[in-house]
Amino acid sequence: MGDFDLTGRVAIVTGGNGGIGLGMADALARAGCAVSIWGRNAEKNAHALAQLRAHGGAVEVRQCDVSDRSAVEAAFAATLAEFARVDACFANAGIGGGGRKASSSAPRRNGGKCSPSISTACFTCFNLPPAI
């Protein structure tokens, strides 16, 4: 047993198919947490799914663009249908490239623009009507 036992818990990790998000999803899965990875790239999603399933726990992936509220609502509803609960949402997804624009003009240290969609997915999820 590791430092944490998250058996019976369910977490969403947006952008969980690579980098820091995948590292977080992997740690959650190793601790026994069921994980729903939301990412836009189907190939990266499939790789992340295989990596996390190696830990033996419940894992799913959803192709989801967190800048699209309807996509977030659909992904959240599907995750609830799969796991019957959501205990945590780790907002890791961001908007980068693909001709998409950040939702805010607030500058970041690196000169880029802030992307509120990084946290909007989690905010949307936990502010949806109870019927969802």
| Beta carbons within 8 Å of 61's beta carbon, 6+ residues apart | 17, 36, 37, 38, 39, 45, 46, 48, 49
Report pLDDT for 105: 42
Name the CA dihedral angle for 50, 83, 90, 42, rounded to a multiple of 10 degrees: 40
Spans of all domains in the chain: 10-125
Report pLDDT for 54: 94
Amino acid at 128: L
Give the right CATH number for 10-125 from 2.60.120.470, 3.90.1150.10, 3.40.50.720, 3.40.640.10: 3.40.50.720
pTM of this structure: 0.75
Tens digit of each residue's pLDDT, the chain (132 residues):
467 899 999 999 999 999 999 999 999 999 999 999 999 999 999 999 999 999 999 999 999 988 888 998 899 999 999 999 999 999 888 665 555 554 444 444 444 444 444 445 555 555 655 444
Q: For 116, which DSSP code? A: T
